Amino acid sequence: MKFKRVFLFFFSIILGIVAFILIFKKVGVGKVMQALALFTWWHFLLIILVGVLVIFFFLKKWKVIAQPFQYKTSWRKLLVAFLGGQVVSFVTPIMFVGGEGIKAMLLKEDDEQKSFVRTFGLIIIDRLAEGCAILILFFLGGLTLFFYKFFLLGAIMVFISLLVLIVVFLGLKATPFFLFLIKIFGFKKAFKDEEKTKEEINIIEDFLKFHRKLFVFDIIFSLIILILSIVQIYLILLFLGKAPSIFEVYSIRVATLIAGLVPTPASIGGFEGSIALIFSLLKMPVQTGLALALIMRGLQLIEVGFGIFVVFPYLATTIFPTIFKNKKIE
């Protein structure tokens, strides 16, 4: 099983790099560099500032949903957990899904009364809120499509978004789904007693039932993050000499969300391919799209580099000694 995972990991890296090279070769590296030449350092600094705001709202919403469970949520600890998750999620394909586990380990650290499973449940709550925010974005996008006379697609997006949101708010039976996630993500060894685990992960259903106001706040913050990411794309394109419409920016953001599902490290190849495809469909210059992709890659690398600098010294004095002593997560 380990050999299979290692093989898939390296195969996905090679596949992603090949796709990345072919995409840039087809469009022309010179054209991409020419589009990128319009982007200046002060443009990049402004984009980084928007990225800092995104991180702030990520940490803020974790503070909000952790309130009922009395977690130690200093800004420093939340930042370390966030960056740790981002680093692992960036370097591993989606089928490994290690980022959420690292977040749970780092949030649980120094909080011995909180179990790994319970902490992981808290992260799933946040993911549910992010999912609801994306559905709201799709709902708004569906309404927008009516103005562009894509009636059928708009109706489908509106219907599906509303249906899933209603299911979540009427009462999600999350326990079986959560147990499935634990097994798929490879965290089954994190608990010994499955019945006890079922009791602990009722945190999700209890939160949706008794703390809906906080859940709504989490959705609002997640929606703000999505809007800021759209603003970031708009500004980058503006600085590259292209003033996009709201529909164009929305479509590009949806493409980047879908690209995150590509099973290669950092979605390499798939991310660039998705952007190239959506720019082609929107009849926008593909070289501008790939310049956008490179700038977004630069932002990711800054975040991951900072994460490595902050997180690994922290892991060396906390999580790693526990692992090396063969202590199990309780």
How many helices and strands in the chain, by DSSP H and E? Answer: 15, 0
Residue 154, SS3 per DSSP? helix
Residue 292, SS3 per DSSP? helix
C-alpha separations of 32 from 61, 104, 282, 287 in Å:
37, 40, 18, 5
pLDDT, position 327: 46
Q: Compute the distance between CA of residue 229 and CA of residue 222 in angstroms, rounded to an integer.
A: 11
pLDDT, position 93: 61
User: What is residue 267's DSSP assignment?
Assistant: G
Give Cβ neighbours of residue 88 (< 8 Å, ≥ 6 apart).
98, 99, 101, 102
pLDDT, position 224: 93
pLDDT, position 210: 78
Averaged pLDDT in 10-residue chunks for the chain of 330 residues: 59 71 79 82 89 91 81 78 80 60 70 67 81 82 71 70 68 56 54 59 73 86 92 92 86 82 71 85 87 88 83 64 49
**With a threshold of 0.85, does the pTM exceed it?**
no
Residue 268 CB coordination number (10 Å): 21
Question: Is the CB of residue 225 less than 8 Å from the CB of residue 57?
Answer: yes
Residue 275 CB coordination number (10 Å): 25
Kindly report each contact of residues 172-175 with a partner whose C-beta sits within 8 Å and lies 24 or more positions away, as own/partner. Answer: 172/128, 172/204, 172/205, 172/208, 173/205, 174/124, 174/128, 174/201, 174/204, 174/205, 174/208, 175/201, 175/202, 175/204, 175/205
Q: Compute the distance between CA of residue 128 and CA of residue 86 in angstroms, rounded to an integer.
A: 18
